[in-house]
Amino acid sequence: MGIAVGLQGDTIYGAWRDPVKDQMLARGYQTDLHHGPDAEFLQIVTVFRQLRPACDELASTSAANDIPGMQEVDEAVVQLVKDCGKKLTNTINLKK
């Protein structure tokens, strides 16, 4: 997760995981153990995985005080998030 390493990270993750698991169970979320995620979901995950390197690049350009570079990377990150949000919303609405 990138929050912390070792025992501290495990503690933070455990504190996060338990309430999230309880919320998912309370909302009736179930996974289908016989089928993997569909192609649309995999596309969303692929784009979300691009966010971390993009955010790392944003941090680097910020540390270098490269204002034009920061603006360029920031716009790319915002577009990635918008695209993922739209695709995720559309996928959820199609499954209802």
Question: Mean pLDDT across the stretch 16-33?
Answer: 70
Above pLDDT 70, what percent of the chain? 79
Question: Mean pLDDT across the stretch 21-49?
Answer: 70
What are the Cα distances from residue 1, in Å, to 11, 14, 39, 43, 72?
12, 12, 24, 21, 26
Q: Give the whole-angstrom CA distance, residue 23 versus residue 20.
A: 5
pTM of the predicted model, to two decimals? 0.52
Most confident of 27-31, 86-90, 91-95: 86-90
Answer whether residue 45 shows pLDDT above 50. Answer: yes
Instruction: Mark out the alpha helices in the chain (DSSP H runs).
Output: 7-26, 39-63, 67-95
Answer whether residue 71 shows pLDDT above 90. Answer: yes
pLDDT tier, 1 (very low <50, low <70, confident <90, very high otherwise): very low
